[in-house]
Structure 1
Amino acid sequence: MRLYTIETGFFKLDGGAMFGVVPKSLWQRTNPADERNLCTWTNRLLLIEDGNQLILVDTAIGDKQDEKFFSHYFLHGDATLDGSLAKYGFHRDDITDVILTHLHFDHCGGAIKRDGERLLPAFKNARFWSNEKHWEWAINPNPREKASFLRDNILPIQESGQLHFIKDGEPFSPNIDIRYAYGHTESMMLPQICYQGKTILYMADLLPSVGHIPLPYVMGYDVRPLTTMEERQHYWQEIVDNEYILFLEHDPINACCTLQHTEKGVRLKETFRLEDMFG
């Protein structure tokens, strides 16, 4: 097995929305905002080469939406999904499996591409993995999340015949388990990878950045914020006790981190790149 960090560029979101009830005077210490109160985030994906499988976790925003849509998110940076794959000698057609942690546009938009008037899978040889609870939640969205669940990102996956569901409690593969969280959205999946004697947990939106480690630093986007705090308290204890490595999807600077107990509760221990930890 080998792991690769796939950088796809940066985007911006409102700082207040990203930190919920936490005052700007506190969150701007770690995530400074621009004059429009927007903070910079990244879409950092994980590529897992495991035997004859090449597995991509999430697909970033993609490029098929219109100019009005992209004007809200200020995409920037030189990194691209295709460029990052090529850096390691891969092409998107090599991908055998795509695990979609959840179906918000910034996590699954790149799963589908526009070909003229048609919407087609961007990874033509891949199986796309979601779970039944989250799929039903996404295709029948509540008003709070409707703007994040875009039908053009979701329905073409099913129409292509490439959609598959992971069953709750079943491992994805011998080296990859699927954990769940329910506070951000229904049945968000967190891939947990056993790699070179270490456990790596892909955090998706349970921990967007190191600035979100204190328990009350919950995003305004979360549909069940109290559930998120309970989940994080449980996960943080497990993470510290077992020395997990956390892979951060949205942190603009830090790709991975570890946690530790302090007098103020669980806090950041170290940050590093995946490549620096494993070579």
Structure 2
Amino acid sequence: MNLYPVNAGNLKLDGGAMFGVVPKTIWQRTNPADSNNMIDIATRCLLIEDSNRLILIDNGMGNKQSEKFYGYYHLWGDFNLDKSLKSYGFHRDDITDVFLTHLHFDHCGGSIQWNQDRSGYEPAFKNAHFWSNKDHWKWATQPNKRERASFLKENILPMEESGQLKFTALPQNQLLNNSQLGFDIFYADGHTDKQMIPLIKYQDKTIAFMADLLPTVGHLPIPYVMGYDTRPLLTLDEKESFLNLAAEQNFYLFLEHDAHNEIITVQKTEKGVRLRDTFTTKDIFTNL
């Protein structure tokens, strides 16, 4: 198995929204804001090359939205998904599976693109299956008023219309072995219903793709929960449970949204679970 970090682009989000009720005087120590109160955010995806499968976990915002839409998110840097794939010798047509942790636009927007004459939409990965789960799909296609702006129908419905959509089996408990794609999944409901956190066995390590369960290093303290979370009290419990497990079993936490920290490990302290070590992907992924 080979693993590759895929940077689908960088953006900025409001620091207050990213940290909820935590005061700026505290969160700006780890996530400094600019003059508009915006903090650096990545969309760092993960590519798994395993036997005859090439699995992409999440794919960023994509490029089909309007200039006005992207203007809200202050894109920065010259990263994009195609450039990242090309740097490893891959093309989007090589992807066999696109696994979506959840269907918010910054995680699945790259799944769908304009067709050639811009009269409609088509899958951006023509040879891939798109993986979600039935509960989250229903949640996203019948959105609540709180999340409606994050679930864009043009990102979601064409997956089903194409015939390329598949669902993972839902668990009896939070942790389920997913034999369809070869990695375990931790299901979390605090941020959005049935968000999926992949746990990938890589050599002698477990790589946890943290999605929005742990956006950045600055979110390690249990009460530091995003204002975007639909069930923040549930996020508290899920974070605590997962981070304790990560400390006990020495998981390597792959951070999708931290623009400056790629992979971390954590440890238990008197103050709770805290940062132990920080790594680059080149430190951990031996094929890079």
| TM-score when normalising by structure 1 | 0.98
Q: Secondary structure at the match of 1:73?
A: coil
2:125 to 115, 123, 130: 123
Structure 2 CA distance for aligned equivalents of residues 82 and 117 of structure 1? 23
Q: How does 1:13-52 map to 2 (within 5 A)?
A: 13-52=13-52
Answering whether residue 246 of structure 2 is matched by residue 239 of structure 1, we say yes
Judged with a 3 Å threshold, the aligned counterparts in structure 2 of structure 1 residues 185 and 270 are, in CA distance, closer, same or farther, namely same
Q: CA deviation at 1:9?
A: 2.1
Structure 1 CA distance for aligned equivalents of residues 39 and 169 of structure 2? 36
Letter in 1 for 2:17: A
Q: Secondary structure at the match of 1:177?
A: strand
The alignment-based identity, stated in percent, is: 58
Q: 2:213 maps to what in 1?
A: 206
Q: 2:190 maps to what in 1?
A: 183
Judged with a 3 Å threshold, the aligned counterparts in structure 2 of structure 1 residues 165 and 175 are, in CA distance, closer, same or farther, namely closer
Output one character per residue of 1:212-231: Cα deviation in whole Å (capped at 9) or x when no partner: 00000000000000000000
Letter in 1 for 2:63: D
Q: 1:4 maps to what in 2?
A: 4
Structure 2 CA distance for aligned equivalents of residues 191 and 181 of structure 1? 11
Q: 1:259 maps to what in 2?
A: 266
Structure 2 CA distance for aligned equivalents of residues 269 and 251 of structure 1? 16
Structure 1 CA distance for aligned equivalents of residues 140 and 181 of structure 2? 28
What's the Cα RMSD here? 1.0
Q: CA deviation at 1:264?
A: 1.3
Answering whether residue 158 of structure 2 is matched by residue 151 of structure 1, we say no
Q: CA deviation at 1:197?
A: 1.2
Q: CA deviation at 1:172?
A: 4.0
Letter in 2 for 1:274: T
Structure 1 CA distance for aligned equivalents of residues 155 and 188 of structure 2? 22
Structure 2 CA distance for aligned equivalents of residues 172 and 45 of structure 1? 21
Letter in 1 for 2:213: L
| TM-score when normalising by structure 2 | 0.95
- Which consecutive segments of 4 or more residues in structure 1 shift more than 6 A? none
Output one character per residue of 1:14-36: Cα deviation in whole Å (capped at 9) or x when no partner: 10000000000000001111111
Contiguous gaps of at least 5 residues in structure 1: none
Q: CA deviation at 1:174?
A: 6.9
**How many residues are matched?**
279
Q: 1:132 maps to what in 2?
A: 134
Q: CA deviation at 1:173?
A: 4.2
Structure 2 CA distance for aligned equivalents of residues 73 and 191 of structure 1? 26
Contiguous gaps of at least 5 residues in structure 2: 172-176
Q: CA deviation at 1:274?
A: 2.1
Structure 2 CA distance for aligned equivalents of residues 150 and 277 of structure 1? 35
Letter in 2 for 1:43: T
Answering whether residue 231 of structure 2 is matched by residue 221 of structure 1, we say no
Letter in 2 for 1:183: G
Structure 2 CA distance for aligned equivalents of residues 8 and 122 of structure 1? 13
